[in-house]
Amino acid sequence: MDVVRAFALARAAVERLPESVGRALFSAAGTAMGLSGSAGARRLRANQARIRPGLGPVRARLLSAAAMRSYMRYYYECFRLPVLGEDRILARVQLDNDAELRADLASGRSATAALVHAGNWDMAGAWACIDLAPVHTLAERLEPAGLYEDFLRFRTGLGMTIYPVVRGGGGLRALEEDMAAGVCFTPILADRDLTASGVEVRLAGHAMLVAPGPALLAQRTGCAIYPVFSRYERLARRRRAAAGTRWGLRLTVGEPVRAETTPDSDSRERAADVRRMSQEWMDQFEPWLRAHLEDWHMLQPVFDADLDQERLARSHARDQQGAHEEDA
């Protein structure tokens, strides 16, 4: 069975099953995958060990099992999202420390956000479309093409405007134009470099490449970058009744990061400023990741030491030259 068909069948099953049954099945699957020796589970544990070193083999497996349960919770909720009403979505999501972000948007300025693959970014996007501002963002062009088209329909059906992440594909330019045309919110999952044009930062003392998108938007438009932390939480009785589930999503807005250069600045100054902004938003994620590592769903190699070294050398050369600007 191809992956597109499998996703369609899973979505149809989730929509028909009682929520308690569906969640239990996905949780059990997550536990089994997290405890396994599969390539994805091994990579997850290796990434977690960079953030929280010194775990013994038993605790490391328990942590990866918790993270895979969180990841399967993400998938379960995504399959359910199209049939949830706005009231359910609003009841499930809580945003903290949002005064400055809301003030920016209310004043007529667009804003961007840096996110990592944690919690449920699609539910956060659906919620933001309802309660914050129109959401315009980027999405990885998945293979096979049918899978990307399926996720594109899913996300646009939730109200989001989506552009593909393709090197030289102009997705970031499209976001820049949208932000100039009207107030919108442009959250970007930035903890992976998908175009070989990433920016080097350090996380927990380890070098890694992140997407330059949030920093480039801040530099080109003058908007602020808001780090947004996403994690699951168990709901208290009142919210649980309104949400229809015991699981909610807590979003916490970090301190805004702002550009010190403009498109008219010297190219080396612009490149250095992109690196500074990227490191500043990543610095805010480090303590959050240490505290909530079970909600980081990173099953791919992201740290420099784990990447193809020839490709990595090319990315670093482009970063030093500020060439990521040409790819956006």
Q: What is the pLDDT along the chain (328 residues), one digit of tens a residue?
A: 577 788 888 888 898 899 899 999 999 999 999 999 999 999 999 999 999 999 999 999 999 999 999 999 999 999 999 999 999 999 999 999 999 999 999 999 999 999 999 999 999 999 999 999 999 999 988 778 788 888 889 999 999 999 998 776 689 999 999 999 999 999 999 999 988 789 999 999 999 999 999 999 999 999 999 999 999 999 998 899 999 999 999 999 999 999 999 999 999 999 999 999 999 999 999 999 999 999 999 999 999 999 877 766 766 676 666 656 544 5
User: How far is C-alpha 180 from the geometric centre of its chain's CA atoms?
Assistant: 23
Residue length of the chain:
328
Q: Answer yes or no: is 214 within a domain.
A: yes
For the CA atoms of the chain, what is the radius of gyration?
19
Q: Answer yes or no: is 2 within a domain.
A: no
Q: Answer yes or no: is 150 within a domain.
A: yes
- Name the packing angle between helices 267-291 and 213-221 (round to 10°): 130
Q: Answer yes or no: is 243 within a domain.
A: yes
Q: Answer yes or no: is 51 within a domain.
A: no
Q: Answer yes or no: is 268 within a domain.
A: yes
CA-CA distance, 17 to 307, in Å (whole number)? 40
Total structural domains within the chain: 1
Q: Answer yes or no: is 23 within a domain.
A: no
Q: Answer yes or no: is 3 within a domain.
A: no
Look up the domain containing 316 and give its range.
85-327
